């Protein structure tokens, strides 16, 4: 008997399988929730994996305080709707010391505002496994990532010490001091994420849809001027442009694209026709050669 | 216009018009997926072949194309296609591929997943793990050198992990003047080699990766070749997940409950065959059967579910099964095994230790090992089997594995997912070896001075606080595993008393 199963069905089943394996094998897992489209899919799959039960783990959001306002509103809405147990981590010390996304190099800012509070959150609550929405198609060093990715003490990632994975078997037994990152979306592509959001009719942060927004142009990229904390350079004046975002992060570090796609269907159509890979809109990855690999070794997701 | 029109060098313009995803309607879900493993040594031009395939036939992004352009070699016209496949900084510096990398691309009809594995001898383990995820393998050789020892080695690894389809890509045909006789000779050597293995399909295709001949389109330089190009061949292989094979199996991952709706679902992914509402299924360990009442998911209920689907199955009576059980078709049940004869690839840098503490991780069970007897090693050069008592990294060993308690397991040849396992180091947690079951036996291996850890002993002391529920059973199992491992690391051969018919 031969029958046709769509590639999205195959990916969905695989992700559900990974969620169930990890929840059974790790003592205290947590889901890293970053509010973006990948997190939306991740959360949806987690709900499917444990339906009709409640999620058997909390969700953790690292808030740099520089996230778009609409992201936080979206997060709070769904946390309530899905009855999620939300943990928010913020590096308040660094904020008090004046660390911000415009005076500091993106790699330093990311380390202080994202990696440090992430590690602190994992340590503080004693989480031994953390689900993340990373995909192998995002970037060269992620193409080699495992589904269960192990971190030595201090959350360091050593590409040479990763465990081989074979067949559908997943080994989550931890050695002393080890923790794991779990990537249920490993085999999804950006295209799959959008097609799935469309198929499942998932709500995403409205920032993914084009709208007239206050923007400035800096270094050839369009940034949204979400509030007046970002000092303007001489000659820069916020102007209204119809823009949308392909990825969401801290607004001074996330470039938008000019677009008129205002519905999910139009966005998906535009995205699938786009000829630039999504991370080209993320300023932190272009900072240095092998940027992502370095960040990962230091404990970035 | 498509983006690559900016490239005016005729040699590097994609030979096949890539899929243009211009609207959601024109970009429906793909009708399937194929995972392709590439293996071959660095010099055979493997990364170039795959880079070329991506370049010619798929939806590469502009910035990826630009990266290739930047990497254009000083000596010639072609971009460095290998840059697409090589990832980590360390590897770029060394110029070799040391780990498996996953790449995704879409042809007009399906998702192709390329799993790139290193060809170096010391990375046999990476190739084995890569191959275990694949539906088809490309073995790449240089037309000037023909079949080498390494090709044999690769075929043996592919066969071991259960791959059924292989393609021999005879590369660099341009360097042998597109010679048909050279190709036919290699093809003949390949056929002879393949007879030794259990492949369902093995074909040879003459290619030139750099110029794209027979990669995505037929070569004009080799009119004598009438077979498919590499891409055409891939398009004809049945997609992953479309052919449910074998008897029904579903390893239970967890139990899902909804107390309001009186729902108790055994959650798992169907690892082989098909299951329908009303079917009788068996829990092999307790030898009890029940009927499938509901096949449930968050979206909807199914009347039928097949291999690869993640579902929750509700039975008409409560079998008290929990994680580690395998629901199975009663007429073709797995063995409730205490001893396995297995072949495994040793993945760890640490060699086999007769007194080491090992665990066997099956689809969803984790079982302590009481004893491993290495019997022989497979010599990948000669494909002969030599007696041995130990093994080390990259070895393929044949061994008897005695389990501390019974678990449901299949012969790998009959059911891959429930017939494979990982050997895990109980202390470090590391994955030590990947194994396939050749024989599973309910008999307990005869050993002298075996200490029997009885249920009575455990429930009176260490497990006195464990409740009489499926979750409690899982915790009981965890604790007894750990005790068995501790005793074993102290040199005491130990067995955990199995449950009489699994009645709690």
Q: Are B351 and B390 in contact (CB under 8 A)?
A: yes
Q: Indicate yes or no: CB of A20 within 8 angstroms of CB of B254.
A: yes
CA distance A36 to A274: 19
Q: Indicate yes or no: CB of B129 within 8 angstroms of CB of A166.
A: yes
Which candidate from A51, A144, A273 shows the least CB-CB separation from B22? A273
What are the tens digits of pLDDT across the range B112-137? 898 887 656 567 788 888 899 999 99
Which candidate from A8, A10, A52 shows the least CB-CB separation from B240? A10
Which candidate from B241, B269, B312 shows the least CB-CB separation from A5? B241
Helix (H, G, I), strand (E, B) or coil at B63: helix
pLDDT band with cut points at 50, 70 and 90 for residue A297: low
Q: Indicate yes or no: CB of B269 within 8 angstroms of CB of A13.
A: yes
Please tell me the distance in Å from A70's CA to the nearest CA on chain B.
26
How high is the pLDDT of residue B200?
86
Mean pLDDT of B66-83: 56
Mean pLDDT of B457-467: 82
A178: chain B residues, CB-CB within 8 Å: 429
CA distances from A171 to A168, B267, B363 (A): 10, 18, 10
Residue B243, in any domain of the structure: no
pLDDT band with cut points at 50, 70 and 90 for residue B31: low
Please tell me the distance in Å from A236's CA to the nearest CA on chain B.
28
Among A140, A151, A199, A280, the strongest candidate for a mutation testing the B interface, having the largest count of B CBs within 10 A, is A140
> Is the minimum CB–CB distance between B71 and chain A shorter than 8 Å?
no
Q: Indicate yes or no: CB of A50 within 8 angstroms of CB of B110.
A: no
Residue B109, in any domain of the structure: yes
Provide the token pair at B394: 């990259």
Q: Indicate yes or no: CB of A187 within 8 angstroms of CB of B104.
A: yes
How many CB pairs below 8 Å do chains A and B form together? 211
B299: chain A residues, CB-CB within 8 Å: 48
CA distance B165 to A284: 42
Provide the token pair at B236: 């004809």
How high is the pLDDT of residue A199?
92
> Is the minimum CB–CB distance between A173 and chain B shorter than 8 Å?
yes
pLDDT band with cut points at 50, 70 and 90 for residue B488: confident
CA distance B489 to B479: 15
The CATH number given to whatever domain includes residue B204 is 3.40.50.300
pLDDT band with cut points at 50, 70 and 90 for residue A286: very low
**Do A179 and A109 sit in the same domain of this protein?**
yes
Residue A279, in any domain of the structure: yes
How high is the pLDDT of residue B3?
34
**Do A105 and A219 sit in the same domain of this protein?**
no
Residue A69, in any domain of the structure: yes
What are the tens digits of pLDDT across the range A208-246? 999 999 999 988 889 999 888 888 888 888 999 999 998
Residue A1, in any domain of the structure: no
Q: Does residue B19 have a pLDDT over 50? A: no
Which distant-in-sequence residues (6+ apart) come within 8 Å of B101 by Cβ?
A140, A143, A144, B85, B86, B87, B115, B116
What are the start-end ranges of the H helices in A136-263?
190-199
ipTM above 0.95, yes or no: no
> Is the minimum CB–CB distance between A286 and chain B shorter than 8 Å?
no
Q: Which residues pair with B299 in a beta bridge?
A: none
Residue A236, in any domain of the structure: yes
Residue B375, in any domain of the structure: yes
Q: Indicate yes or no: CB of B32 within 8 angstroms of CB of A5.
A: yes
The CATH number given to whatever domain includes residue B304 is 2.40.30.10
Q: Which residue has the tokens 């969905």?
A: A12
What are the tens digits of pLDDT across the range A96-131? 999 988 888 888 998 899 999 999 999 999 999 999
> Is the minimum CB–CB distance between B6 and chain A shorter than 8 Å?
no
**Do A236 and A155 sit in the same domain of this protein?**
no
Cis amide linkage into residue A52, ω under 30° from 0? yes
Residue B115, in any domain of the structure: yes
Q: When comparing pLDDT for B7 and B189, which is higher?
A: B189
**Do B211 and B230 sit in the same domain of this protein?**
yes
Residue A281, in any domain of the structure: yes
**Do B296 and B344 sit in the same domain of this protein?**
no
Task: Please say which residue of B332, B360, B393 terminates a domain.
Answer: B332
**Do B232 and B262 sit in the same domain of this protein?**
no
Provide the residue range defining the domain that includes A282.
204-286
What are the tens digits of pLDDT across the range B271-329? 999 999 999 999 999 999 999 999 999 999 999 999 999 999 999 998 888 899 999 99
Quote the longest CA-to-CA distance of chain B: 80
Among B2, B6, B21, B407, the strongest candidate for a mutation testing the A interface, having the largest count of A CBs within 10 A, is B21
Mean pLDDT, chain A, rounded, equals 87
Q: Evaluate the CA torsion angle A260, A266, A270, A271 in order and state its sign.
A: positive
Angle at Cα B62 formed by Cα A14 and Cα A274, nearest 5°? 65
Please tell me the distance in Å from A245's CA to the nearest CA on chain B.
18
Provide the token pair at A244: 């949308």
**Do B278 and B321 sit in the same domain of this protein?**
yes
pLDDT band with cut points at 50, 70 and 90 for residue B425: very high
Residue B179, in any domain of the structure: yes
Q: Which residues pair with B422 in a beta bridge?
A: B361, B434
CA distance B254 to B249: 15
> Is the minimum CB–CB distance between B87 and chain A shorter than 8 Å?
yes
**Do A18 and A81 sit in the same domain of this protein?**
yes
Q: Does residue B363 have a pLDDT over 50? A: yes
How high is the pLDDT of residue B89?
44
Which candidate from A14, A159, A191 shows the least CB-CB separation from B88? A159
Q: Indicate yes or no: CB of A17 within 8 angstroms of CB of B269.
A: yes
CA distance B52 to B78: 10
Please tell me the distance in Å from A250's CA to the nearest CA on chain B.
23
What are the tens digits of pLDDT across the range B183-209? 999 999 999 888 888 888 999 999 998
**Do B230 and B266 sit in the same domain of this protein?**
no
Task: Please say which residue of B236, B257, B279 terminates a domain.
Answer: B236
**Do B323 and B342 sit in the same domain of this protein?**
no
Q: Are B391 and B346 in contact (CB under 8 A)?
A: yes
CA distances from A88 to A61, A96, A107, A129 (A): 5, 18, 22, 17
CA distance A179 to A176: 9
A51: chain B residues, CB-CB within 8 Å: 256, 297-298, 312
Q: Are B431 and B347 in contact (CB under 8 A)?
A: yes
Mean pLDDT of A193-208: 94
**Do A208 and A274 sit in the same domain of this protein?**
yes
Total domain count, chain B: 3
**Do A169 and A222 sit in the same domain of this protein?**
no
**Do B327 and B340 sit in the same domain of this protein?**
no
B87: chain A residues, CB-CB within 8 Å: 140-141, 143-144
**Do A176 and A99 sit in the same domain of this protein?**
yes
CA distances from B24 to A198, A263, A300, B62, B268 (A): 9, 12, 34, 20, 32
**Do A54 and A185 sit in the same domain of this protein?**
yes
**Do B388 and B482 sit in the same domain of this protein?**
yes
Residue A198, in any domain of the structure: no
Residue A115, in any domain of the structure: yes
Please tell me the distance in Å from B225's CA to the nearest CA on chain A.
31
pLDDT band with cut points at 50, 70 and 90 for residue B448: low
Mean pLDDT, chain B, rounded, equals 82
Q: Evaluate the CA torsion angle B236, B237, B240, B245 in order and state its sign.
A: positive
Which distant-in-sequence residues (6+ apart) come within 8 Å of B456 by Cβ?
none
Q: Indicate yes or no: CB of B99 within 8 angstroms of CB of A169.
A: no
Which candidate from B30, B253, B306 shows the least CB-CB separation from A21? B253
**Do A184 and A237 sit in the same domain of this protein?**
no
Q: Are B102 and A139 in contact (CB under 8 A)?
A: no
Q: Indicate yes or no: CB of A273 within 8 angstroms of CB of B21.
A: yes
Which candidate from A165, A189, A276 shows the least CB-CB separation from B63? A276
**Do A181 and A261 sit in the same domain of this protein?**
no
How high is the pLDDT of residue A64?
92
Q: Indicate yes or no: CB of A164 within 8 angstroms of CB of B308.
A: no
**Do B104 and B221 sit in the same domain of this protein?**
yes
Residue B242, in any domain of the structure: no
How high is the pLDDT of residue B82?
61
**Do B304 and B355 sit in the same domain of this protein?**
no
Q: Does residue B58 have a pLDDT over 70? A: no
Q: Does residue A74 have a pLDDT over 50? A: yes
- The region, left, alpha or beta by phi > 0 then psi within -120 to 50, assigned to residue A65 is left
**Do A18 and A132 sit in the same domain of this protein?**
yes
**Do A113 and A60 sit in the same domain of this protein?**
yes
Residue B244, in any domain of the structure: no
pLDDT band with cut points at 50, 70 and 90 for residue A285: very low
Residue B241, in any domain of the structure: no
Provide the token pair at B429: 């947690």
Phi, psi angles (nearest 5°) of residue B408: -80, 125
Residue A2, in any domain of the structure: no
pLDDT band with cut points at 50, 70 and 90 for residue B381: confident
Please tell me the distance in Å from B184's CA to the nearest CA on chain A.
35
**Do B22 and B70 sit in the same domain of this protein?**
yes
Provide the residue range defining the domain that includes B447.
335-502
The CATH number given to whatever domain includes residue A74 is 3.40.50.620
Mean pLDDT of A49-74: 94
CA distances from B277 to B42, B293, B466 (A): 51, 6, 34
Which candidate from A2, A52, A144 shows the least CB-CB separation from B101? A144
Count of Cβ atoms closer than 10 Å to residue B92 Cβ: 16
**Do B39 and B171 sit in the same domain of this protein?**
yes
Total domain count, chain A: 2
Task: Please say which residue of B305, B332, B359 terminates a domain.
Answer: B332
Q: How distant is the alpha carbon of residue B329 from its chain centre?
A: 24
């Amino acid at each position: 008997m031969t029958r046709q199963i769509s590639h999205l069905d195959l990916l969905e089943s695989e992700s559900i399988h990974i969620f169930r394996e990890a929840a059974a094998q790790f003592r205290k897992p947590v889901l890293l929730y970053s509010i973006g489209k990948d997190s939306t899919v991740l959360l949806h799959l987690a709900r499917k994996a444990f339906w009709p039960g409640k999620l058997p783990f909390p969700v953790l959001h690292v808030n740099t305080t520089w996230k778009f306002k609409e992201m936080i509103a979206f997060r709070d809405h769904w946390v309530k709707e899905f009855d999620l147990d939300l943990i928010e981590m913020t590096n308040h010390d660094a904020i008090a010391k004046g660390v911000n996304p415009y005076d500091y190099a993106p790699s330093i800012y990311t380390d202080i505002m994202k990696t440090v509070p992430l590690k602190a959150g994992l340590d503080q609550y004693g989480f031994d496994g953390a689900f993340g929405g990373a995909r192998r198609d995002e970037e060269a060093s992620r193409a080699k990532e495992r589904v269960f990715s192990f971190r030595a003490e201090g959350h360091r990632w050593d590409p040479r010490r990763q465990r081989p994975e074979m067949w559908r078997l997943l080994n989550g037994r931890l050695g002393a001091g080890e923790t794991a990152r779990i990537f249920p979306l490993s085999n999804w592509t950006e295209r799959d994420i959008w097609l799935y959001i469309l198929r499942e009719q998932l709500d995403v942060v409205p920032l993914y849809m084009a709208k007239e927004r206050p923007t400035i142009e800096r270094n050839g990229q369009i940034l949204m001027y979400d509030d007046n904390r970002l000092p303007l350079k001489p000659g820069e004046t916020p102007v209204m442009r119809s823009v949308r975002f392909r990825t969401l992060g801290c607004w001074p570090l996330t470039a938008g694209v000019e677009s008129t796609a205002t519905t999910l269907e139009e966005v998906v159509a535009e995205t699938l026709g786009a000829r630039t890979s999504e991370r080209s809109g993320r300023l932190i990855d272009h900072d240095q050669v092998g940027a992502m690999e370095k960040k990962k070794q230091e404990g970035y997701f | 216009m498509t983006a690559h029109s900016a490239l005016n060098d005729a040699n590097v313009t994609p030979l096949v018009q890539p899929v243009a995803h211009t609207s959601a309607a024109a970009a429906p879900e793909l009708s399937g997926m194929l995972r392709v493993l590439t293996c071959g040594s660095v010099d055979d031009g493997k990364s170039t072949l795959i880079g070329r395939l991506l370049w010619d036939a798929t939806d590469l992004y502009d910035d990826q194309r630009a990266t290739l352009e930047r990497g254009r070699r000083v000596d010639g016209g072609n971009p460095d296609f290998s840059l697409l496949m090589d990832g980590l900084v360390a590897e770029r510096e060394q110029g070799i591929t040391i780990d498996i990398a996953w790449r995704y691309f879409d042809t007009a009809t399906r998702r192709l997943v390329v799993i790139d594995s290193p060809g170096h001898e010391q990375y046999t383990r990476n190739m084995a793990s890569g191959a275990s995820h694949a539906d088809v393998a490309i073995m790449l050789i240089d037309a000037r050198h023909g079949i080498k020892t390494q090709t044999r080695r690769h075929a043996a690894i592919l066969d071991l992990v259960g791959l059924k389809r292989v393609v021999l890509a005879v590369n660099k045909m341009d360097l042998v003047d597109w010679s048909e006789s050279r190709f036919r000779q290699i093809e003949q050597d390949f056929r002879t080699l393949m007879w030794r293995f259990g492949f369902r399909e093995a074909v040879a295709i003459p290619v030139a990766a750099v110029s794209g001949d027979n990669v995505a389109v037929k070569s004009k330089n080799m009119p004598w070749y009438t077979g498919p190009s590499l891409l055409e061949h891939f398009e004809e292989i049945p997609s992953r997940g479309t052919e449910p094979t074998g008897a029904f199996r579903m390893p239970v991952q967890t139990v899902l409950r909804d107390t309001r709706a009186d729902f108790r679902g055994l959650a798992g992914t169907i690892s082989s065959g098909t299951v329908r509402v009303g079917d009788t299924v068996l829990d092999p360990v307790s030898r009890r059967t029940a009927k499938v009442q509901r096949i449930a998911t968050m979206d909807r209920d199914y009347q039928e579910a097949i291999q690869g689907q993640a579902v929750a199955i509700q039975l008409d009576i409560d079998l008290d099964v929990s994680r580690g059980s395998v629901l199975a078709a009663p007429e073709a049940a797995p063995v409730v095994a205490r001893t396995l004869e297995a072949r495994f690839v040793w993945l760890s840098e640490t060699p086999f230790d007769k007194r080491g503490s090992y665990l066997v991780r099956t689809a969803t069970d984790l079982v302590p090992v009481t004893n491993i007897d290495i019997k022989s090693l497979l010599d990948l050069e000669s494909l002969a089997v030599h007696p041995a008592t130990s093994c080390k990294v990259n070895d393929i060993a044949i061994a008897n594995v005695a389990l501390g308690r019974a678990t449901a397991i299949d012969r790998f040849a009959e059911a891959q997912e429930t017939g494979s396992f990982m050997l895990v180091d109980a202390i470090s947690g590391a994955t030590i070896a990947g194994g396939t079951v050749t024989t599973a036996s309910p008999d307990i291996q005869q050993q002298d001075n075996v200490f029997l850890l009885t249920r009575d002993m455990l429930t009176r002391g260490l497990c006195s606080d464990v409740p009489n529920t499926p979750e409690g059973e899982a915790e009981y199992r965890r604790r007894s595993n750990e005790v068995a491992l501790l005793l074993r690391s102290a040199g005491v051969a130990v067995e955990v008393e199995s449950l009489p018919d699994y009645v709690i």
